[in-house]
């Protein structure tokens, strides 16, 4: 009995037999051992004589032939757009969603999409309105204080100072006149005293009057000097200081008013932002939630934060599929590789556009499996919608006109890879040099010729194969040389 060596579609999570790590080879060998023991035990129980080699030899064989082999990997993903218009929350802090449009709704520009709770913002507007009025009143009062301080300086120089100075100057003139008069009276009284017309007492009185007038003149001169040298300067410093302080107070109140007005304007703007509307016509979808979440990030009664993406409006002409590629084969996935995308009602040909350099977060929700996000670019066609499930087959390699052998015909041991070839003398063991695999067939580089028949599932029929996989590790022999004279593919 023969089997078809070239299935139409092959999928792979493993890359190449020769490149497997020793740990992986022994792990696989252990599974084969368990399988072999199970098969042998069942055969011994239910089939009399099953443990004995059959004289007629095994009946399940496969004829080695040349053909094409496609090595690919298949993963499940979700359709999404590569160009999304993000609708974000513009309200600071956390806000409660009171209403949200249904996922997948077609909308027009200006349609309401999300409404957020406004109570907190309305309270803030009321408070900031009061604060703004108070700040404006304080600012206007400070403006008046500055104006008064500016007027006070010329008012002093042209008013109080000049009035006081003029008053003292007038007193000075009077004091000088009084002194001159007193001096003349003293001279006149002295002349009369010499002639005997007045008494000495009267002369002394006139002399005292002169002294008194001199003292009054000096007092007035001192007052004028103090006014010009000290009083004026002190008053000017006070007035200038008041002006500077008033100006700084005005700047402070102006900044306070601007701050309160800004808070009020921002609160009013946030009140408007509590209603999110469509910027353009198109499809509206919910953003994908994290894998570990059981509910979407946007729903009625959910709290959302500032700058959180609430909704997406995808560009349906630029679609892609994001899949996770296992870490064991991610090195074999390159941008530009061909891919086939199977959607619920259509199959498309695409290509790999990018492979993430950092693995996606792994956790209990992923079974701690490490995968790398890979983007598959789709052609522009009508019909595909975001959120559709997609099966993606990425072609890693294509081999043309190569010898292949079924995976079921190969036994992997510590000594190497072997198969059993059907001959006239029975099944004979053959050492193999293998290449890539699609998990159904393996490329044969050396060890077999086209047309030879190999035994399928040799562990079930050949005692030698059973002994090979059950051989203890410490008895492993040096791998026997591969028959390089056999037909092979480089």
d(CA 424, CA 90): 82
d(CA 32, CA 466): 10
The CATH number of domain 84-114+276-314 is 2.40.50: yes
Q: What tens digit of pLDDT does each residue of 251-279 get? A: 999 999 999 999 999 999 999 999 999 99
Q: How confident is the model at residue 296 (pLDDT cuts 50, 70, 90)?
A: low
Buried b (16+ CB within 10 A) or exposed e, 415-436: ebbbbbbbeeeebebbbbbbbb
Q: What tens digit of pLDDT does each residue of 58-105 get? A: 468 999 999 999 888 999 998 999 898 999 999 999 999 999 999 989
DSSP string covering 141-168? HHHHHHHHHHHHHHHIIIIIHHHHHHHH
Residues of the chain with CATH 2.40.420.20: 17-70+402-475
Q: What tens digit of pLDDT does each residue of 393-438 get? A: 999 888 999 999 999 999 998 889 999 999 988 899 999 999 988 8
- The residue behind tokens 């802090």 is 93
What number is the average pLDDT over the span 151-155? 94
Confidence (pLDDT) at 59: 65
Confidence (pLDDT) at 480: 53
Q: How confident is the model at residue 177 (pLDDT cuts 50, 70, 90)?
A: very high
Q: How confident is the model at residue 363 (pLDDT cuts 50, 70, 90)?
A: low
Fold for domain 17-70+402-475?
A: 2.40.420
Confidence (pLDDT) at 40: 44
Q: What tens digit of pLDDT does each residue of 103-143 get? A: 989 999 999 999 999 999 999 999 999 999 999 999 999 99
Q: How many CB atoms lie within 10 A of CB 309?
A: 16
Per the CB < 8 A criterion, the answer to whether 378 and 384 are in contact is: yes
Check residues 45 and 160 and name the one with the higher pLDDT. 160
Q: How many CB atoms lie within 10 A of CB 334?
A: 10
d(CA 422, CA 454): 6
pLDDT of residue 12 exceeding 60: no
Task: Tell me the CATH architecture of domain 120-273.
Answer: Orthogonal Bundle (1.10)
The residues, any chain, with a CB within 8 Å of residue 335's CB and separated by 6 or more, are: 351, 352, 353, 354, 355
Per the CB < 8 A criterion, the answer to whether 403 and 349 are in contact is: no
Confidence (pLDDT) at 472: 65
Q: How many CB atoms lie within 10 A of CB 256?
A: 18
Residues of the chain with CATH 2.40.50: 84-114+276-314
pLDDT of residue 35 exceeding 80: no
Confidence (pLDDT) at 482: 53
What number is the average pLDDT over the span 183-203? 87
Check residues 225 and 34 and name the one with the higher pLDDT. 225
């Amino acid at each position: 009995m023969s089997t078809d060596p070239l299935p139409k579609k092959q999928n792979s999570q493993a890359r190449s037999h020769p490149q497997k790590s020793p740990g992986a080879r022994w792990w696989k060998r252990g599974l084969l051992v368990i399988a072999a023991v199970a098969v042998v035990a069942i055969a011994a129980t239910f089939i009399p004589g099953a443990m004995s080699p059959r004289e007629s030899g095994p009946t399940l064989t496969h004829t080695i032939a040349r053909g094409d082999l496609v090595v690919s990997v298949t993963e499940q993903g979700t359709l999404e757009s590569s160009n999304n218009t993000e609708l974000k929350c513009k309200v600071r802090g956390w806000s409660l969603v009171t209403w949200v449009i249904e996922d997948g709704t077609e909308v027009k520009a200006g349609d309401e999409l999300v409404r957020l709770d406004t109570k907190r913002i309305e309270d803030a507007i009321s408070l900031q309105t009061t604060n703004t009025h108070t700040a404006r009143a304080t600012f206007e009062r400070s403006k008046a204080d500055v104006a008064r301080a500016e007027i006070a300086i010329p008012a002093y120089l042209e008013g109080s100072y000049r009035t006081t100075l003029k008053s003292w100057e007038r007193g000075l003139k009077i004091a000088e006149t009084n002194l001159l008069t007193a001096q003349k009276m003293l001279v006149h009284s002295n002349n009369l005293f010499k002639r005997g017309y007045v008494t000495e007492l009267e002369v002394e009185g006139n002399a005292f009057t002169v002294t008194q007038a001199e003292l009054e003149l000096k007092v007035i001169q001192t007052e004028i000097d103090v006014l010009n040298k000290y009083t004026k300067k002190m008053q000017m410093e006070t007035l200038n200081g008041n002006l500077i302080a008033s100006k700084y107070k005005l700047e402070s109140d102006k900044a306070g008013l601007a701050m309160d007005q800004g808070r009020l304007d921002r609160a009013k703007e946030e009140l408007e932002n509590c209603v999110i509307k469509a910027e353009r016509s198109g499809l509206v979808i919910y953003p994908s939630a994290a894998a570990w979440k059981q509910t979407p990030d946007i729903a009625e009664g959910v709290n959302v934060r500032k700058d959180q993406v609430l909704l997406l409006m995808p560009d349906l002409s630029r679609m892609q599929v994001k899949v996770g590629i296992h870490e064991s084969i991610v090195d074999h996935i390159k941008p530009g590789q061909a891919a086939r995308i199977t959607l619920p009602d259509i199959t498309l040909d695409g290509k790999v556009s990018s492979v993430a350099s950092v693995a996606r977060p792994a956790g209990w929700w992923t079974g701690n499996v490490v995968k790398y996000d890979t983007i598959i670019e789709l052609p522009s066609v009508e019909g595909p919608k975001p959120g559709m499930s997609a099966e993606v087959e990425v072609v890693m390699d294509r081999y043309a006109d190569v010898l292949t052998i079924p995976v079921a015909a190969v036994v992997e041991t510590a000594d190497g890879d072997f198969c059993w070839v059907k001959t006239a003398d029975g099944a004979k063991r053959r050492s193999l040099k293998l290449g890539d695999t699609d998990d159904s067939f393996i490329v044969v580089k050396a060890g077999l010729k086209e047309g030879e028949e190999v035994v399928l599932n040799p562990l079930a029929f050949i005692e030698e194969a059973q002994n090979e996989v059950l051989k203890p590790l410490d008895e492993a022999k040096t791998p026997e040389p591969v028959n390089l004279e056999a037909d092979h593919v480089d």
